[in-house]
Amino acid sequence: MTIYNLGSINIDQFYSVPHLPGAGETLAATSHSAGLGGKGANQSVAAAQAGARVFHIGAVGPDGDAMLDRMRALGVDCTHVAQVDTPTAHAIINIDTRGENAIVIFPGANEKQSLSRLDAALAGAGKGDILLLQNETSLTVEAAQNGRARGVFVIYSAAPFVAEAARAMLPHIDLLVMNEGEASALSSALGLGIPDIPVPHLLITHGAGGAIWRDQSQPSEIRLPAFRAPPIDTTGAGDCFLGYTAAALDKGLSAEDAMRLGAAAAAIQVTRHGTADAIPTRAEVDAFLS
């Protein structure tokens, strides 16, 4: 089947720093690099590297050609990515010596999505396909409604977390993906316990603590531990995990086996610098698991 992804495309600027800067503090970076990023692009690349057929839906500015070339080189179909007048989104990513990060994002072209382009991109989607969504583009709710109407399995990452954005998405999605902090914040905002969040399925990531898949209708849950890996850079690890997990679900794997594949990919990715460019190939993940 096919994975569609209405997602962000960013130019990531990485700065290695002795520690994450505090208010009013000026730090000298020890190194700098730039590359492809954005939650959407990362997830699309991960799904494509895992072996899925991936159509990315999005927008870049006049300065976005290099990002599209890189996505295509990594296996993502960019037919439905528009070039608009607004500059391509970018992210300033500070990474400390422990691999932890602090990120500032300029949304740019990611907020210039079009309903007509979205409809055209999803025209061929149907039952058995997957739609990935995040909070880094406009028209997320409209995309979820469009996908649901076509019988597509809709996966939504509630990040960067905004409670009202997540609340608006709940009636239109099949799988809600959050980290533990986001899950706690949404639970508080809704005034509901996590088992009562009204979605069919819930996937909560716990970083080095692994992940939990909840079937909210049963209720039941699958707990998967993380693989141990010495982190160099954790930026984009969650996107890598989800992209690989979505690709595995698309191929018919169980939730547990899909998460295991995603966890292995993320374990490799955190040992490398970068975001999309650090995502491992399926051959690397299979070798890791063997």
Q: Residue 93 domain-assigned?
A: no
Q: Tokens representing 106?
A: 């300029």
Q: Residue 25 domain-assigned?
A: no
Q: Residue 95 domain-assigned?
A: no
d(CA 99, CA 140): 30
Q: Residue 53 domain-assigned?
A: yes
Q: Among 5-14, 75-84, 232-241, whose mean pLDDT is lowest? A: 232-241
Q: Residue 27 domain-assigned?
A: no
Question: In the chain, what's the furthest Cα-to-Cα distance?
Answer: 52
pLDDT in tens, 137-172: 999 999 999 999 999 999 999 999 999 999 999 999
If you average pLDDT over every residue of the chain, what do you get?
A: 96
Q: What φ, ψ does residue 182 adopt, rounded to 5°?
A: -65, -40
Number of domains in the chain: 1
Q: Tokens representing 263?
A: 């966890």
pLDDT in tens, 249-288: 999 999 999 999 999 999 999 999 889 999 999 999 999 9
Domain with residue 231: its CATH number is 3.40.1190.20
**Residues 155/130, Cβ–Cβ less than 8 Å:** yes
pLDDT in tens, 188-244: 999 999 999 999 999 999 988 999 999 999 989 999 999 999 988 888 999 999 999
pLDDT of residue 271: 95
d(CA 228, CA 262): 13
Query: Under the phi-then-psi rule, with left for phi > 0, alpha for psi from -120 to 50, and beta for the rest, what region is 274?
Result: left
Q: How many CA atoms lie within 13 A of 262 on its CB side?
A: 34
Q: Residue 193 domain-assigned?
A: yes
In the chain, the N- to C-terminal Cα span, in Å, equals 26
Residues marked as catalytic = 239
pLDDT of residue 246: 98
Q: Residue 139 domain-assigned?
A: yes
**Residues 121/147, Cβ–Cβ less than 8 Å:** no
pLDDT in tens, 97-118: 988 889 999 999 999 999 999 9
Query: Among candidates 46, 65, 33, which has minimal Cα distance to 7?
Result: 46
Residue 92 DSSP SS3: strand
Q: Residue 99 domain-assigned?
A: no
Residue 69 DSSP SS3: helix
Q: What range does the domain containing 177 cover? A: 2-9+38-88+107-289
pLDDT of residue 234: 87
